[in-house]
């Protein structure tokens, strides 16, 4: 019995020993793994986890950089930054957000939609997150709230920076505006776009060079607690301001041109015929870009959209108009270059010419009699140019148009440029499925029919006529940051000097030898201007209207009146500047377009320092009185 018990005890001992060994080994392995993991965490990966722990305590926040300025050629600020007075609410520091808004409404206006937006932001965020209640406050509003700050618990008063356009509607189509970043804009990886409230260029030059203007974000470190509340600021690195952009514009000319056109729906372009510098680019009426920066109301935006004078359209580069008689110098040049006529070729104008059974009328009832090249331009004889177009054919007119920039864009720096339209046989066949007709060539010869141009194209056309046939290109940037945008001298287009001079002589006769713009001549020696008037029809005059007497423009509804146009260069002896001007539904070019163009051109010449001494003192005093 004793032997049997000893055997059983021995078996139990062996079993216990084995289990103890297994348990001990497992425990050792567990502790070894734990020690290895602790070594990994505390020694091998110490830096990584220290960083993660620090990130839970310290937040990095981006700071909006100061946007670069836009300046005119003399350094006058056109778009800059100003203080943005804001009121910010911290909901947790108030007993009731609605009562807090009631209290602050005693000093600033908070409309129902604005209040609802604020309350929505409060509901969406933790109560310690600051909410912008109002911004772009006037100094008076900001001062009033500051005075009553002790009565407004929970409100923080802040002065940041925002975009400002000191000339408002005078440059709206050129500069454009900035507005809040949209979801579509976030496709740009630039981190600065993620800054709350950051604004980027949405139109015009603000959009065209936005990456250069926006600058680079700064950074600040703030300590936060476990719930994300900011405790204190630890460090701050200010961002890099955006680059300044210098334009070729002369703000004095721009302002004067805008004022001279008053309430007209109009456009005007002034440029240097040699360099291509655009000194003025006016589209009237404009709009206030500051409204878009602040957040334009639905009612205000709808008013802009429904305005018949189309203030949102940049008429100078996107308005497309029949050029009317301002097109005739180009037809005359094409005729001379292709030896279709000589300067002395006489064409008789009786007031109408016939093609088959269709009559084509001259603007002067009864006609002009015998016309040569100079006379045809001087008196703007339609019959003379009908005949030139008939002899040339549409193909040669089209070719000359493209040489002078019509039907093309110039890669101009202000976005939105339109091509206009230079009609051709191929274009008509592709567009209408019909063949080109000779009658269409005739009306193209006087700048009517299908042909369309922009004021910028007409100014470039005039500049290329006046500079000896050089292919000058318009531009509006002088520099972006340190990068200069001055362009090299333009290439010659291979035109005959004699043909160009004959056309320029004809334009000189228009203003200085009793032509259609004689009343708008500049009578200061050395400042004489050569030009060409134009009146383009927006409606077809029927046979019945001619029979009973065509209704005068001033007796028609505004939208049915003719457009008034004028192109010019000056001085005649040594051309330096070109101008194009259109007054929508203004009627006669000689009455509505030539007088303001003359005044703008004279100021442009006066602004040229090299010419100022040539202006007689009495004439300078007279100009100062007229401008005032």
Strand partners, 85: 137, 159
**Paired tokens of 186:** 């976030």
Judge whether 2 counts as a catalytic residue.
no
Dist CA 518 CA 380 (whole Å): 13
H or E element at residue 392: helix 382-392
Dist CA 537 CA 37 (whole Å): 88
| Strand 131-137 versus strand 77-89 pairing type | antiparallel
**SS3 sequence of 294-340:** HCCCHHHHHHHHHCCCCCCCCHHHHCCECCHHHHHHHHHHHHHHCCC
Contact (CB, 8 A) for 270 and 253: yes
- Nearest in space to 373 (alpha carbons), one of 426, 409, 333, 404: 333
**Paired tokens of 246:** 């210098």
Contact (CB, 8 A) for 73 and 478: yes
What is the chain's percent helix, strand, coil content, to nearest 5?
45, 20, 35
Chain centre distance of CA 405: 21
Contact (CB, 8 A) for 288 and 303: no
Dist CA 377 CA 360 (whole Å): 18
Specify the residue for token string 């100062």: 624
Q: Of residues 172, 325, 424, 590, which has the active-site annotation?
A: 325
Give the single-character DSSP code of 190.
-
- Nearest in space to 442 (alpha carbons), one of 406, 398, 402, 391: 391
Dist CA 165 CA 293 (whole Å): 10
Dist CA 367 CA 457 (whole Å): 31
**Paired tokens of 58:** 């310290």
**SS3 sequence of 94-138:** CCCHHHHHHHHCCCCCCCHHHHHHHHHHHHHCCCCCCEEEEEEEC
CB within 8 Å of 594: residues ≥ 6 apart: 511, 517, 519, 520, 531, 533, 566, 568
Contact (CB, 8 A) for 67 and 163: yes
Dist CA 606 CA 166 (whole Å): 25
Q: 370-395: string of b/e by CB count within 10 Å (b at 16+)?
A: ebbbbbbbbbbbbbbbbbbbbbbbbe
Dist CA 17 CA 569 (whole Å): 114
- Nearest in space to 594 (alpha carbons), one of 515, 502, 478, 513: 515
Strand partners, 477: 247
- Helices and strands in the chain, H and E counts: 23, 21
**Catalytic positions, written as ranges:** 325
């Amino acid at each position: 019995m004793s032997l049997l018990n000893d055997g059983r005890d021995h078996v139990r001992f062996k079993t216990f020993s084995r289990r103890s060994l297994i348990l001990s080994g497992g425990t050792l392995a567990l502790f070894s793994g734990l020690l290895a993991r602790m070594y990994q965490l505390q020694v091998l990966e110490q830096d990584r986890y220290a960083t993660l722990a620090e990130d839970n305590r310290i937040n990095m926040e981006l700071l909006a950089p100061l946007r670069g300025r836009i300046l005119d050629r003399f350094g006058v600020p056109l778009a800059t930054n100003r203080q943005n007075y804001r009121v910010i609410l911290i909901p947790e520091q108030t007993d009731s957000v609605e009562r807090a808004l009631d209290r602050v409404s005693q000093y600033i206006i908070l409309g129902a939609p604005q209040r609802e937006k604020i309350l929505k932001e409060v509901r969406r965020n933790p109560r310690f997150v600051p909410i912008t209640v109002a911004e772009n406050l006037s100094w008076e509003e900001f001062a009033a709230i500051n005075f009553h700050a002790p009565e407004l618990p929970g409100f923080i008063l802040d002065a940041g920076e925002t975009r400002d356009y000191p000339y408002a509607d005078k440059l709206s189509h050129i500069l454009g505006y900035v507005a809040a970043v949209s979801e579509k804009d976030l496709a740009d990886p630039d981190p600065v776009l993620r800054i709350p409230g950051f604004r980027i260029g949405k139109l015009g030059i603000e959009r065209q060079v936005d990456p250069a203007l926006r600058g680079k974000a700064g950074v600040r470190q703030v300590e936060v607690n476990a719930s994300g509340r900011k405790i204190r600021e630890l460090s701050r690195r200010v961002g890099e301001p955006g680059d300044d952009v210098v334009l070729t514009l002369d703000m004095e000319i721009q302002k004067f041109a805008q004022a001279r056109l008053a309430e007209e729906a109009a456009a005007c372009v002034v440029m240097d015929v040699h360099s291509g510098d655009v000194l003025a680019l006016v589209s009237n009426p404009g709009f206030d870009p500051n409204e878009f920066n602040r957040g334009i109301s639905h009612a205000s935006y709808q008013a802009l959209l429904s305005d018949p004078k189309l203030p949102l359209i940049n008429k100078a580069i996107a308005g497309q108009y029949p050029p009317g008689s301002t097109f005739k110098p180009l037809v005359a040049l094409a005729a001379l270059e292709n030896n279709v006529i000589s300067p002395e070729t006489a064409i008789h104008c009786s007031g109408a010419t016939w093609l088959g059974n269709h009559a084509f009328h001259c603007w002067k009832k009864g006609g002009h009699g015998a016309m040569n090249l100079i006379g045809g331009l001087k008196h703007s004889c339609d019959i003379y140019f009908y005949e030139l177009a008939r002899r040339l054919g549409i193909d040669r007119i089209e070719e000359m148009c493209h040489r002078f920039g019509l039907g093309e864009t110039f890669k101009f720096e202000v976005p939105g440029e339109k091509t206009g339209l230079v009609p051709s046989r191929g274009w008509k066949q592709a567009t209408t499925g019909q063949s080109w007709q000779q009658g269409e060539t005739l009306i193209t010869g006087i700048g009517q029919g299908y042909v369309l141009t922009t004021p910028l194209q007409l100014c470039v056309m005039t500049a290329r006529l006046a500079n000896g046939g050089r292919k000058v290109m318009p531009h509006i940037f002088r520099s972006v940051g340190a990068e200069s945008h001055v362009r090299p001298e333009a290439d010659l287009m291979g035109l005959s000097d004699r043909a160009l001079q004959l056309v320029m002589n004809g334009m000189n006769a228009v203003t200085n030898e009793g032509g259609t713009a004689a009343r708008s001549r500049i009578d200061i020696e050395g400042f004489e201007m050569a030009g060409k008037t134009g009146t383009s029809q927006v409606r077809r005059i029927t046979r019945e209207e001619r029979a009973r007497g065509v209704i005068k423009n001033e007796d028609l509804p505004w939208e049915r009146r003719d457009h008034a146009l004028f192109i010019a260069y000056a001085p005649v002896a040594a051309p330096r500047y070109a101008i194009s001007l259109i007054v929508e539904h203004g009627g006669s070019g000689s009455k509505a377009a030539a007088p303001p163009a003359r005044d703008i051109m004279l100021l442009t010449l006066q602004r040229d320092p090299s010419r100022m001494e040539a202006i007689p003192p009495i004439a300078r005093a007279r100009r100062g009185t007229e401008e005032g």
